[in-house]
Amino acid sequence: MSRRGHGKVTVLAGGVGAARLLRGLAPLVPRGQLTIVVNTADDDVFYGLHVSPDIDTVLYTLAGLSDPVRGWGLAGDTFHGLEALRRYEHDAWFQLGDRDVATHLFRTRLLRDGIPLSQVTALQARGLGVGARVLPMSDDAVRTIVETTGGRRSFQEYLVRDRARETVRSLTYAGSRGAQPAPGVLAAIEEASLIVIAPSNPLVSIAPILAVPGLRQGLRRAEAPVVAVSPLIGGRPVKGPADKMMRALGVAPTPSGLADFYHDVLDAMVIDTADRAHLAKLEGRGVAATCLDTLMRSLGRSTAVARAALALGATVREQRNLAS
Ligand code: FO1
């Protein structure tokens, strides 16, 4: 590793929050050095098409094509196809844009032909001109099942159809026990100089990745520092129901709660200035921490947060070198 370089960086990523960090991080990491391991437990089939929302969001964002307001889908897309479909399926609640559909058509056809999701994703990254290596966590199907007070829901039913109104009783990552990490995932963790847990929902974006056999052990064994970027600002996420879900499942929606949740893999955490009261608590339990404004509303803010994560990782590495 050069003095100014960071070596290989591996990021565990969900959707929109992760993508906001990645748009700042990707330009800071030399080509060929960045691997992104993406949650696929939100994947589902809509209108016969296999949709991988977190992979889509990461790819579209890195390609500079994502819708800046929604965070998902393509900027400037239209929904005429969906409107036409609603003549037959009145409650078609999951919105696939007219141009977005091409991504799902391509993925579905290749998967049906027996091509693994990791290879399909690599082809899509190439087609979109994305230089970073984007890997699904697994080529095997893992699905988040949400038990709510109203019944059992798929993740997209819970989040999109029911707008996360129901109280969550439990989460399961169906299929995770028998799943294998996608090719390259374990090596990316082993060879990394820095591992970043993106500011994604810990329960439904990061936990399914950690539930793939070998992933958690790989992180525990990794030489690289594991730095989490908190998705919380003053106890609330920028988007989505993370705080509600965390509270319902007994995880405090604070940096300390996150540190408890990631306790066996975590070395350091980037938190928002609004949560600076947790800095001392984190340091007290051996988690190195730094704080700044983590609201990534612009590329500049994404770059600042990415730099903070890289710098914190470098500090942890230096401290370890001094101690050894
Ligand atoms: N999120 C919504 O809130 N409503 C939608 O209709 C919707 C459609 C959609 C289509 C493709 C895609 O890649 C993502 C889409 N998302 C939609 C986002 C997605 O449901 C969630 O944000 C993620 O699963 C959570 O990471």
CATH of the domain at 57: 3.40.50.10680
Q: Indicate whether 252 belongs to any domain.
A: yes
Q: What is the pLDDT of residues 123-167, one digit of tens each?
A: 999 999 999 999 999 999 999 999 999 999 999 999 999 999 999
The percentage of the chain sitting over the pLDDT mark of 70, rounded to a whole number, equals 98
pLDDT(220) > 70: yes
User: Where residue 6 falls among pLDDT bands split at 50, 70, 90?
Assistant: confident
Distance CA 127, CA 197 (A): 26
Q: What is the mean pLDDT of residues 233-255?
A: 94
Provide the 10 A C-beta neighbour count for residue 123: 13
Q: Indicate whether 164 belongs to any domain.
A: no
Distance CA 316, CA 194 (A): 10
Q: Indicate whether 187 belongs to any domain.
A: yes
Range of the domain at 313: 3-146+175-323
Closest residue CA from atom 21 of ligand 1: 53
Q: What is the mean pLDDT of residues 115-127?
A: 98
Closest residue CA from atom 3 of ligand 1: 160
Q: Indicate whether 28 belongs to any domain.
A: yes
pTM of the model: 0.97
Closest residue CA from atom 18 of ligand 1: 72
Q: What is the mean pLDDT of residues 222-243?
A: 95
pLDDT at residue 4, rounded to an integer: 53
Mean pLDDT over all residues of the chain? 96
Provide the 10 A C-beta neighbour count for residue 127: 13
Q: Indicate whether 191 belongs to any domain.
A: yes
User: Where residue 80 falls among pLDDT bands split at 50, 70, 90?
Assistant: very high
Atom number, ligand 1, closest to the C-alpha of residue 100 = 11
pLDDT(1) > 50: no
Q: Is the CB of 51 under 6 A from ligand 1?
A: yes
pLDDT at residue 2, rounded to an integer: 42
pLDDT(299) > 60: yes
Q: Indicate whether 208 belongs to any domain.
A: yes
The percentage of the chain sitting over the pLDDT mark of 90, rounded to a whole number, equals 96
Q: Indicate whether 41 belongs to any domain.
A: yes
pLDDT at residue 124, rounded to an integer: 98
Closest residue CA from atom 16 of ligand 1: 72
Ligand 1 center to residue 57 CA distance, Å?
Answer: 9
Ligand 1 center to residue 295 CA distance, Å?
Answer: 21
Closest residue CA from atom 26 of ligand 1: 15
Pocket test for ligand 1, best of 72, 82, 105 (most atoms within 8 A of CB): 72
Q: What is the mean pLDDT of residues 233-241?
A: 92
pLDDT at residue 3, rounded to an integer: 44
Q: Is the CB of 56 under 6 A from ligand 1?
A: yes
Q: Is the CB of 44 under 6 A from ligand 1?
A: no
Q: Indicate whether 89 belongs to any domain.
A: yes
Q: What is the pLDDT of residues 258-284, one digit of tens each?
A: 999 999 999 999 999 999 999 999 999
Domain count, the chain: 1
Q: Is the CB of 15 under 6 A from ligand 1?
A: yes
Q: What is the mean pLDDT of residues 111-119?
A: 98
